[in-house]
A and B are shown apart, each in its own frame.
Chain A
Amino acid sequence: MKTRSMLSIMFSARFAFCAVLLLTATLPFAGCRLPGKPGEGPEVPRPEQVTNFDTLYGSNCAGCHGANGQNGSAMNLANPTYQSLVDDATLRDVIANGEPGTLMPAFGTKQGGMLTEQQIDAIVAGLRARWNKGNVLAGQNAPAYKAAHAGDAAKGEQAYQTACAQCHEAAPQKPAQGGSIRDGSFLALVNEQTIRTTVIAGRPDLGMPDWRGLVKGRALSEDEITDVTAWLMAQKPATPGQPYPGAGQQGPARIPTPNPVKQ
């Protein structure tokens, strides 16, 4: 009995000694590269100090524009043609103030968003660095981003039938594989610029060609693009999305503010 307890003392002493030795042996390494050592800067920076493009894009843009700038529900940002078409000031403006008439919200702090001007600059710079492949439109006689003058809706239908109808729809209720773009609700959620940009830059991620590939053998002209845009926007009904169009004559009828849902 006595010997056993003596033995156990010795055992524990040796164990404790080993433990202490191990501990002291690890301590000198602590200064250099233990995995737990915090990295530079605060663990969680102030939200406005985040200027990393991946972080900003991943939390503000990826939802609609896709994880890699393509295959999203909204505009294909990783499209070199689009990148060449749009200038920095426009990108900055659209991010900060949104695109009126569309679902693109305003992200700038002045508009109640979360992004500072520096962060918007960082996003623009990042978009360019990642997806701008130089000016692919140089010498292509490309139309400008913004229309120089208002389009002629009357001429637009002709352009629609030559350039768009084969993939979208020749007549209402007869959509082709590309789906209808004459749907009232669709037209209510886009603006002229959406259509213009899509016609010029295309949606390579979805297989839609740019303005050079819409009609066989030639590129669409500036006037055709402006006219078809005007014509399409003119197709928007007065009360888009209403199942009973006659019901609300005073603009789009809205459902009144709902009651608080009580449980």
Chain B
Amino acid sequence: MDEHPVAGAAEDLSRRTFLMKVGIALNAAVALAIATPVVAYLLGPVIKRKEYLQWIALGSADDFAAGETKLVSFQNPFSNSWDGATAQVPAYVRRTGTGSGASDFTVFAINCAHLGCPVRWFKESQLFMCPCHGGVYYADGNRASGPPERGLFTYEVKLDNGKLLIDAGQIPTLSNRASADGPCSGGEWPQEPAEKALANIVKTIEPYKPNPYESPRG
């Protein structure tokens, strides 16, 4: 490397050093100004949560026979034209009674509560089985065996003029319920009444029912 002779006197140097520092500070300020929108852009999918969940019609309530569980699919309300087949979301509708109240319907997410693989319904044995790690659920969605730590995720259901509607739009995980009532971002998200939120939580905790036929360490 060649030695570059430094021109100018010492005070000159300090002036230039100062100017260089000004230059760096200017760049830092501009970088910060640019970074703010960049961060907001990157966090877009998180900030926008409000729009994700919508009431989606799954068809007429009469399409579902009492006592049966049926595979359906619906269009993800938050999708783009280039999503192709991935805009569709499958789900299981179970009609327990012949009544036409929302309580006669349970809509299960397709995703295993363990790691999200698609569970398959077997009507002969009245079980949902997961192909990945062998999670098994009973017809009512309760965990039967395998690694899941809870039952199947369910969507909130309502009936409107004989139409079955579910509150859906995000992939259910242990943090994001199928119908989100999980942690939410400040005031943007309509807050639930505290007692309703509590009731939801209590609902999801299955009471421990010891199985009299099973040894303590099953």
Contact surface of A with B, Cβ cutoff 8 Å: 105, 112, 257-263
Instruction: Point out the residues of chain A lying under 8 angstroms from B208, CB to CB.
Output: 262
- Asked if B145 is at the interface (CB within 8 A of a chain A CB), the reply is yes
A105 to B125, CA, bound (A): 11
A261 to B210, CA, bound (A): 8
| Majority secondary structure, B binding face | loop
A262 to B145, CA, bound (A): 8
- The one of A105, A112, A257, A261 that contacts B145, using a Cβ cutoff of 8 Å: A261
**Residue contact B70 to A260, C-beta cutoff 8 Å:** no
- Asked if B206 is at the interface (CB within 8 A of a chain A CB), the reply is yes
- Asked if B52 is at the interface (CB within 8 A of a chain A CB), the reply is no
A260 to B210, CA, bound (A): 9
Instruction: Point out the residues of chain B lying under 8 angstroms from A259, CB to CB.
Output: 209, 211
Question: Which of chain B's residues 170-218 have a Cβ closer than 8 Å to chain A?
Answer: 206, 208-211, 214, 217-218
**13 additional contacts, CB 8 Å, given A105-B123, A257-B138, A262-B208?**
A105-B124, A112-B70, A112-B71, A257-B140, A258-B211, A259-B209, A259-B211, A260-B142, A260-B144, A260-B209, A261-B214, A261-B218, A262-B218
Question: Which of chain B's residues 130-153 have a Cβ closer than 8 Å to chain A?
Answer: 138, 140, 142-145, 151
**Residue contact B151 to A260, C-beta cutoff 8 Å:** yes
The verdict on A261 contacting B144 (CB below 8 Å), with A105-B124, A112-B123 known, is yes
Listed by A's residue number, 5 A-B pairs whose Cβ atoms lie within 8 Å are A105-B124, A112-B70, A262-B208, A262-B211, A263-B217
- Asked if B68 is at the interface (CB within 8 A of a chain A CB), the reply is yes
Instruction: Point out the residues of chain A lying under 8 angstroms from B151, CB to CB.
Output: 260
CB distance from B126 to the nearest CB of A (A): 9
Instruction: List the B residue with the shortest CB-CB distance to A113.
Output: B123
A261 to B145, CA, bound (A): 7
**Residue contact B140 to A261, C-beta cutoff 8 Å:** no
Instruction: List the A residue with the shortest CB-CB distance to B121.
Output: A112
Contact surface of B with A, Cβ cutoff 8 Å: 68-71, 121, 123-124, 138, 140, 142-145, 151, 206, 208-211, 214, 217-218
Instruction: Point out the residues of chain B lying under 8 angstroms from A258, CB to CB.
Output: 138, 211
Instruction: List the B residue with the shortest CB-CB distance to A106.
Output: B123
A105 to B145, CA, bound (A): 24
Instruction: List the B residue with the shortest CB-CB distance to A262.
Output: B208
Instruction: Point out the residues of chain A lying under 8 angstroms from B206, CB to CB.
Output: 260
CB distance from B79 to the nearest CB of A (A): 21
CB distance from B164 to the nearest CB of A (A): 17
Instruction: Point out the residues of chain A lying under 8 angstroms from B142, CB to CB.
Output: 260
**Residue contact A260 to B123, C-beta cutoff 8 Å:** no
**Residue contact A262 to B138, C-beta cutoff 8 Å:** no
A55 to B11, CA, bound (A): 88
Instruction: Point out the residues of chain B lying under 8 angstroms from A263, CB to CB.
Output: 217-218
Instruction: Point out the residues of chain A lying under 8 angstroms from B71, CB to CB.
Output: 112
Instruction: List the A residue with the shortest CB-CB distance to B70.
Output: A112
CB distance from B119 to the nearest CB of A (A): 14
Instruction: List the B residue with the shortest CB-CB distance to A111.
Output: B123
**Residue contact A260 to B143, C-beta cutoff 8 Å:** yes
A121 to B208, CA, bound (A): 49
A257 to B123, CA, bound (A): 15
CB distance from B59 to the nearest CB of A (A): 15
Instruction: List the B residue with the shortest CB-CB distance to A109.
Output: B71
* Most B Cβ at <10 Å: residue of A112, A257, A260: A260
Closest 10 CB pairs of A and B: A260-B142, A259-B209, A263-B218, A260-B143, A105-B124, A261-B211, A112-B123, A259-B211, A262-B208, A260-B206
